[in-house]
Amino acid sequence: MSELKYCQGPDCHTYNTQDRIKGQKGNKTYQTRRRSSFYYGNGNFCDMRCQNDWFSKYGTQAVNHFGRLTEAKHLTEENAWVKDWNYPDHGNDRNYYYLNKITQEQRPLTQEQYDDNNYTLNER
């Protein structure tokens, strides 16, 4: 049996839907949704409303905790590489490539490089 987890929406239990009513007969309450997986917010929220509730309540704290931008970031040739793919003119296999958004230069990628979140041409 897969492990169930709770929606992280701070007000999830306050939304009156049938699936949130849980408990023994005569002692039923609306409860936070619990599922094996969720589709919103990296699998942490049951729906967009709960995700937005969380951000409204904790978003500013989270930004301050993980680092608030205090100056503009700049897109330059050195950090303008983005991964992309297309279909070749003839064929069904995807073409993976790196595209530099400044110079428009393209460099081929393997699917493994495309899927690898740590692989980058950008300077860090």
Q: Left (φ > 0), alpha (ψ -120 to 50) or beta: where does 68 sit?
A: beta
* Phi, psi of 41, deg, nearest 5: 55, 55
What is the helix (H) or strand (E) element at residue 96, kind and residue range? strand 95-100
> Among 20, 40, 41, 50, which residue interacts with Zn ion (rule: CB under 5 A)?
50
Cβ proximity to Zn ion: between 31 and 95 the closer is 31
Rg (CA), the chain: 22
Scanning 30-38, 64-72, 87-95, 106-114 for contacts with Zn ion by CB under 5 A, the matching segment is 30-38
Scanning 16-24, 50-58, 68-76, 105-113 for contacts with Zn ion by CB under 5 A, the matching segment is 50-58
What is the contact surface with Zn ion in residues (CB under 5 A)?
7, 9, 12, 33, 46, 50
